[in-house]
Structure 1
């Protein structure tokens, strides 16, 4: 068998020839060299990034960015508002309470006017002129009727004062409730100042002076403006 037959037999059998082994070795060497070069480049890049991150200027810049971001978060947290549903619910509740307070104030003024009218009638009934009584004895009977009317008026005024006292208690309770339910960062619109008239003193059955009920200091302050 000659050399050519030997090479043909090697090629047909699939066994690696010396030429194939040499080419494979060269390819492996080139591939390893490329991998080493890539690894060295990656290590150099990591070292450079580490030096940049560890530099004082880089750290100062990061601190400034963190401080700026924290300040922005704090500002946004301070400006956060309630959901629209909560705001509308609180607004409606406060509006209803203000309307109820206005109605109670109107009722209070009506009671004071009624007390003033009854007081005038009481004064007219309790002060008959002696001359008229001497001129006409029938005025004595009218005087007794006037005194009876005076007693009825006193009872009526007492009932009105009791009703007014209850209204003032309700008004004070509503003021406290409105003050509790008002948001901390949000101020309610004040009601227009409406000073309450002060009723004059009323004479009692025995002639003593009875002062009409006045709202307490806290209620008077709230009536001048709901905060």
Structure 2
């Protein structure tokens, strides 16, 4: 079993992620921010709120505004492309994002859990049988096994059962809401081997206790 203090020390050593920003297509780029500038990411609380405008790209008379996808600081920017034509997938800048406590917890869970992802863009809910077991025993009281039908994918008026094919485990984390459309590839469930539940719980609790809310 891995050492919890060592894991947390790793996250504290690099409490950030670098997000590279690429052009979606060809066009003339106009930069709207400079290196060292703080930016705000797009949020979706209620109605969508736009983040900081970081650059525009003009193609065939159509101007597209590109907003920061996440909060952070511009740590690298390709100034020579300003007012110039660029190819698609050109790296324009990099944003350094400081991880929140919740994001560190999610990174830890992704490291140790099996993440069951959405095979298609759709709405998802537990099967009736699994939902009944969860109501009776709670999430962590139910073990799912290979071959079990665990979720129903609702798409285009069709309901398709999804089967679990990995090692037996407990549903430790649920990332979806049944009335919300989930994009393809996004996490739906985090499955934990039964013998690691205690370790994961201790790790999450220690991160929540120790991680500073606003690190610099």
- TM-score of the superposition, structure 1-length normalised? 0.20
Give 1 or 2: higher strand fraction.
2
